[in-house]
Amino acid sequence: MDKLELLRQRFGYDDFRPGQQPLIDALLQGRDVLGVMPTGAGKSICYQLPALLLPGLTIVISPLISLMKDQVAALTQSGIPSAFLNSTLDAQSYCDVLRGARRGAYKLLYVAPERLEADRFQELAQDIEISLAAVDEAHCVSQWGQDFRPGYLKIAAFLDALPRRPAVGAFTATATAQVRDDIERLLGLREPLRVTTGFDRPNLFFDVVRPKSKDAYLRQFLSERPGASGIVYCATRKKVEAVCDGLQRHGFSATRYHAGLSDQERLDNQERFVYDEARIMVATNAFGMGIDKSNVGFVVHYNMPKNMESYYQEAGRAGRDGSPARCVLLYAPGDVQTARFLIQNGEDNELVREEERELLRQRDLDRLDQMTAYCKTTSCLRACILRYFGERAPERCGSCGNCSGALEERDITVEAQKILSGVARVEKRFPSSLGVSSILDMLRGSRSQKVRHYALDELSTYGIMKDISRDQVRTYIDLLIQEGYLCLTAGTYPVLRLCPSARQVLFHGEKVTCLCRVPTD
Ligand code: ADP
Ligand code: ZN
């Protein structure tokens, strides 16, 4: 049977999607491949179909233990014999699967990377014919990727130790150059065929807004789209509860999903959303993996995610059917602090050595900076995303919030002078300067503990911006950082400092302007 027939009969699709055919052809010829495709593009077929045509067994190395079972169930249902090996199996089932594999009962065997080193798996691998090894979520091998898994570093040695090295297919949705290089090098790919399909999703409209009240904005947004179904992502379980309760109280058909709910409730809620009984899913990032709902009309991020990879993956769950869909991020400067806190106090990856942890944390913080830059940019949002993923993009796409909202130039010299002189006073009193929140407290004349502790109310700039909201002052500070008048130092306790060019504004009459979006509605 040829591959197109197989695609139609076994998988039920009419045709290949971009990228699938060249990857499949290369693997069938025994050549290594690196497939970089966005989530939902259809990476699985690229190794599942060759598995059926090649002799022997295909092993699929995947870190997503929770998904293996579903994938294997789906394959089995399509009449493709397959099984998985991971820590969720009891001893008996584990033995059964090993025995089945030895007998040649399966075409595909999914394994968690940690299993590769297990003695009994090693013995099996030496004895049977493995013609293809697929490495799913291949970015896990890279410390530059968002979810590094040390087990992935052992894959290359495992493959080399096989009696015959199989063709190796690496697949990922993360396309930054560093990660791609790491994948090729650390998995030991041999002259792989590289296929990268475009990351752009033209039917998605991207937007970043800074509403005064996120809840009011969200309700307005949902009311304007009465029939549409969509996801609202929040940073924490607590926020999911609060937002979902709030929406339900206002009569919206919402349900929720996070790791704190029982398995049963998670499953029920997920099904209610997938089958359109609940129109809105309020969830943490635990929701969405392996969910295949095509008519998601919007994805709202109530909080800023920790990095662009997560953002694009989550936002990308909108508009899978190709219809226009909206991806809106509700930004508040406080989200940056929350994300920073989550990174610094998050669960440590137990598999990683102590000295690596600090490095990983630093990279997470760098990624957070890039995410923050996306929220603050006044240029094309789509271009910002595509460039992050290493793709070229036109200056303006014409269909994102920044391209379509009119921009207006405003003179903010007076505000800038107030802020810069405030920072100058603080630096004079405390040469190593203070953090943004202390400076905000000082400018806005707050009576906070920090103000009393540092006696900031004795400075002549105390309270000079008391008529402007804290968020607004924070926005001005961000602009001044972006324009190079102020800088925020790196490290655990960043402080705000004057840059040399601030003198031009303070003493030489330089004007400061900013491009502000004029709301279209
Ligand atoms: P990825 O791993 O790239 O995120 P999947 O392999 O899970 O994506 O596929 C995403 C969706 O696309 C699945 O619902 C799959 O059934 C569907 N799909 C894959 N290939 C095709 C194709 N050639 N034609 C139509 N649908 C496809
Ligand atoms: Zn744009």
Reduce the secondary structure of 173-240 to three states and give it as a string.
CCCCHHHHHHHHHHCCCCCCEEEECCCCCCCEEEEEECCCCHHHHHHHHHHCCCCCEEEEECCCHHHH
Mutate to test the pocket of ligand 1, among 4, 8, 13, 78 (most ligand atoms within 8 A of CB): 13
Which phi and psi angles does 303 have, rounded to 5°? -125, 155
- Is any atom of ligand 1 closer than 6 Å to the C-beta of 40? yes
- Is any atom of ligand 1 closer than 6 Å to the C-beta of 41? yes
Reduce the secondary structure of 7-63 to three states and give it as a string.
HHHHHCCCCCCCCHHHHHHHHHCCCCEEEECCCCCCCHHHHHHHHHHCCCEEEEECC
Ligand 2 mean position, distance from CA 179 (Å): 26
Interior CA angle at 9 toward 6 and 11, to 5°? 80
Structure confidence at residue 520 (pLDDT): 43
Closest CA to 299 of 521, 40, 474, 13: 40
Ligand 2 mean position, distance from CA 386 (Å): 11
Sign of the torsion formed by the C-alpha atoms of 176, 181, 183 and 186: negative
Question: CA–CA separation, 69 vs 368, rounded Å?
Answer: 33
* Polymer length in residues for the chain: 521
- Is any atom of ligand 1 closer than 6 Å to the C-beta of 27? no
Closest CA to 324 of 297, 306, 353, 285: 297
Exposed / middle / buried, residue 10 (Cβ in 10 Å: 0-12, 13-18, 19+): middle
pLDDT tens string 246-292: 999 999 999 999 999 999 999 999 999 999 999 999 999 999 876 77
Structure tokens at 429: 């009193």
Ligand 2 mean position, distance from CA 254 (Å): 30
Query: pLDDT 10s per residue in the chain (521 long)?
Result: 789 999 999 898 888 988 999 999 999 999 999 999 887 788 999 999 999 999 999 999 998 887 888 889 999 998 999 999 998 899 999 999 999 999 999 999 999 999 998 999 999 999 999 999 999 999 999 987 667 888 999 999 999 999 999 999 999 987 688 888 999 999 999 999 999 888 889 899 999 998 889 999 999 999 999 889 999 999 999 999 999 999 999 999 999 999 999 999 999 999 999 999 999 999 999 998 767 788 999 999 999 999 998 999 899 999 988 889 999 999 998 889 888 888 888 766 665 677 777 878 888 898 999 999 999 998 999 999 998 887 888 889 989 999 986 666 778 999 999 999 999 999 999 999 999 999 999 999 999 999 999 999 999 999 999 998 887 888 889 888 878 899 988 877 889 999 999 999 999 989 998 766 654 44
Ligand 1 mean position, distance from CA 304 (Å): 28
Q: From residue 149, give the alpha-carbon distance in Å to each of 47, 110, 352.
A: 21, 17, 8
- Is any atom of ligand 1 closer than 6 Å to the C-beta of 44? yes
Question: CA–CA separation, 382 vs 365, rounded Å?
Answer: 22
Structure confidence at residue 521 (pLDDT): 40
Answer yes or no: are the C-beta atoms of 453 and 439 closer than 8 Å.
no
Most distant CA pair in the chain, distance:
84
- Is any atom of ligand 1 closer than 6 Å to the C-beta of 12? no
CA-43 nearest atom, ligand 1? 3
pLDDT tens string 155-167: 999 999 999 999 9
Mutate to test the pocket of ligand 1, among 8, 15, 17 (most ligand atoms within 8 A of CB): 17
Half-sphere exposure of 150 (CA within 13 A, CB side): 10
Interior CA angle at 131 toward 129 and 136, to 5°? 125
Question: CA–CA separation, 109 vs 131, rounded Å?
Answer: 12
Answer yes or no: are the C-beta atoms of 189 and 168 closer than 8 Å.
yes
Answer yes or no: are the C-beta atoms of 170 and 60 closer than 8 Å.
no
Structure confidence at residue 406 (pLDDT): 61
Cα Rg of the chain (Å, integer): 26
pTM over 0.75: no
Question: CA–CA separation, 395 vs 382, rounded Å?
Answer: 9
Question: CA–CA separation, 85 vs 415, rounded Å?
Answer: 62
Ligand 1 mean position, distance from CA 329 (Å): 26
- Is any atom of ligand 1 closer than 6 Å to the C-beta of 62? no
Structure confidence at residue 333 (pLDDT): 83
- Is any atom of ligand 1 closer than 6 Å to the C-beta of 170? no
Ligand 1 mean position, distance from CA 382 (Å): 23
CA-20 nearest atom, ligand 1? 23
